[in-house]
Amino acid sequence: MGGAIGDILPLAIGVAISPVPIIAVILMLFSGKARSNSLAFLFGWILGIAAVGVIALLLGNTADIGTSSGPARGAAAIRLALGLLLLFGAFRQWRKRPGEGEEPQMPKWMAGIDAFNAVKSCGLAALLSGVNPKNLALVLAAAMTISQAGLNGAQPWIVLLVFVVIASLSVAIPVLTYVLAGEKAESTLTSWKTWLTANNAVVMAVLFLVFGFLLIGKGIGGLS
């Protein structure tokens, strides 16, 4: 089980490094409903990752990926396709990066975060975590890795739980910082938001590139 956790660790970190959701939850912490909305956002983020992970792992177990050469080669082909998709995403993100002196473009919905309630915050986070192309690719890759690890009983689900926890740390840390430090954390959270806003496109391009090549390499290795 330790080997499986080591294999999914980079993928979980890739999910966690998601600038837009981190910026969104920090903005919520500056709103009038800071505590309720940020906790709902964190819950939605965890729910989105967990839902995709559980479905993918159930499908992987049903297909018997861990013991059949046919399904295993199919999983390798899926990894290859996901890797190519991420490389395309890297190209798009790099082209979207702001030029010198330009203001970074952020999603329009961020302007209305002050009006969000807990339900809307939770739903938004679930979409950002579970449907986002980068996260979807990495969660699917993690589920396939777990399915092929030869684990028994509750072990695959424990590894998936570890994945979800690590993948949620980047959203949980700002929320916990606010809960523990209150208004004293405002300057720290503001500096995080400023840096992430300015570097969002570059960070995402690098992530897409690194994990794209990682999945392509694993896919080719599984097919050869």
pTM of the model: 0.82
| CA distance linking residue 84 with residue 73, whole number of Å | 17
Of 63-72, 99-108, 119-128, 153-162, which range is least confident? Answer: 63-72
Copy the structure tokens of residue 122. Answer: 């939770």
Residue extents of the structural domains in the chain: 2-223
Core vs surface per residue 58-94: b (16+ CB within 10 A) or e: eebeebebbeeeebbebbbebbbebbebbbebbeebe
At 126, is the pLDDT very low, low, confident or very high (cuts 50, 70, 90)? very high
The predicted model gives 173-178 an average pLDDT of 90
28 vs 211, higher pLDDT: 28
The predicted model gives 24-42 an average pLDDT of 89
Helices and strands, number each (H, E), in the chain: 8, 0
